[in-house]
Amino acid sequence: MGNQAKFNLFDNTQLSAGANVTSEKIPLAYASGFFAVNGTLNGIDPDITIEYLVGDGTQFVTGDSAIVTGLDSAVFNIQFSPDLGEYIKIKLSNNSQNTAVISLNLIFTEKLS
């Protein structure tokens, strides 16, 4: 069994209506097993899409499917299985007519070296 890696990607980030934001790249050299995003969401009628992008550190492509669409929960914890890549980024899109405030962590297990 490996260790748990946790990256705080967004901390009370304000996301305007119709806007999107993408995290910094996170290396996946030692990633193994489960991936999840968790955090909190505040706003009036929020509607957030969370996607992942994978790549070689310079070029990134969007994963085959979104982690979640239509997120409107105040507290969330969502497990997902990303495509393979050397690095991962998380992208948030606000599909609502109002500003949303989101905090989000990326969590995955790391194999022991």
Measured distance CA(105)–CA(50) in Å, rounded: 12
Q: Would the pTM of this model clear 0.85, i.e. be above it?
A: yes
Share of the chain above pLDDT 70, in %: 98
Q: Which of these CATH numbers, 2.60.40.1220, 2.60.40.10, 2.60.120.230, 3.40.980.10, describes 3-110?
A: 2.60.120.230
User: Among candidates 24, 86, 31, which has minimal Cα distance to 55?
Assistant: 86
pLDDT digits (tens, 9 = 90+) for 18-32: 999 999 999 999 898
Q: What is the reported pLDDT for 90?
A: 98
User: What values do phi and psi take at 77, rounded to 5?
Assistant: -150, 110
Measured distance CA(40)–CA(31) in Å, rounded: 24
Task: Round the average pLDDT of the chain to a whole number and report it.
Answer: 94
pLDDT digits (tens, 9 = 90+) for 52-101: 999 999 999 999 899 999 999 899 999 999 998 999 999 999 999 999 99
